[in-house]
Amino acid sequence: MRSAHKAKAGPVPSPAPAEHLAFSLTRRSAYRMAWKYGRFPLAVLRMDHHASSSFHSHEFVELVIIESGQGIHFTKNESYPIAAGDVFVIRPYHPHGYSNAHDVRLVNVLFDPDRLALPLHELTRLQGYHALFETKGRARKFYGLTSHLRLDLRRLTQVEGLIAALEADLENKAPGFSFIAKALFMQTIYMLSRCYANQQSLTDRPLQRISQAIAYLEANYTRQIRLSDLTATTHMSLSNLYRDFRAATGFSPNEYLIRLRVMRGAQLLRQGQWNVTETAFQTGFNDGNYFSRQFRQVMGISPRRFVACHGNADVIAEGTE
């Protein structure tokens, strides 16, 4: 993964240079943004080890994607467990915080919708957009809407790809970068809105009940995991575990584990540290060919093709198709 952009907390500063991404916080003010890309009000902020934090707020909208780890996200109206694949939106001046954060890695997309001037009115018929990006907490609760989205691993990987492309475009700042950046961000908003609409029929209760099982899989995916490990962790019967796990994620525990391993493998391949066979063993697979078959099934592309598409062709030589 790319290293996180560093955020600086402290007294309210004078306007920062365009090349720096800075925040400020006082007791009577929200976090302010000195936009890294000059006057362009869109930024990507990666945080590889997000710690617990008390109530705070921002002057901008914050789209949060949890890539790994576990914890609790809380607002004035609610709190809920977070894990890999969770997506939620923090509106300006809405206090929120994190507790019990454990190995939380997340990516924030920060933006000012008024200054960014996207044609969001074209999404008026997309219910998921209103629920995820526009509806306030009390209204969301009144209408029975969940406050966050849970992406499966394939969708999470797709969203990560869009954000990585957005981040690269913002960093390169080539002529016309703002045009492409807006297009990539709008595609991200559209995908998340569609996913939210499709998920809304699920309730939060199954997700809460199997959050410990998901956390256990994330912490131990590189070793052999037995179903008895999950039932012992969650204090659930096997039948209840299967039922609630599938209701919350759309997958059985074994299917989820395979997708988790594949997604972690994709991250390693993107970094270029190991070839395909080495990556298989690093992510809990005992066979490179089996890893490749599962990778193609989950990602829709072979590991070899994935590596080539991400510019790390030098790691292919010892890999398998």
Distances (CA, A) of 104 to 68, 86, 121, 135: 6, 11, 34, 26
Encode pLDDT of 195-244 as tens digits: 887 775 444 455 556 767 887 888 899 999 999 999 998 889 999 999 88
Distances (CA, A) of 47 to 1, 23, 25, 51, 69: 10, 14, 18, 9, 12
Encode pLDDT of 243-283 as tens digits: 888 876 778 999 989 988 998 898 888 878 889 999 999 99
Residues 46/107, Cβ–Cβ less than 8 Å: yes
DSSP assigned state of 314 = G
The number of angstroms, rounded, from the C-alpha of 315 to the middle of its chain's C-alpha atoms is: 26
Domains of the chain listed by start with CATH number: 42-199 (2.60.120.280), 204-315 (1.10.10.60)
Cα–Cα nearest to 150, from 71, 203, 227: 203
Residue type for position 278: E
Encode pLDDT of 90-124 as tens digits: 988 888 999 989 889 999 999 988 888 888 777 76
Phi, psi (degrees; rounded to nearest 5) at 320 = -115, 160
Q: What spatial distance separates the first Cα and last Cα of the chain, rounded to whole Å?
A: 23
pLDDT, position 228: 94
Token pair of 213, please?
């099982």
Q: How confident is the model at residue 135 (pLDDT cuts 50, 70, 90)?
A: low
The Cα–Cα gap between 46 and 51 comes to 13
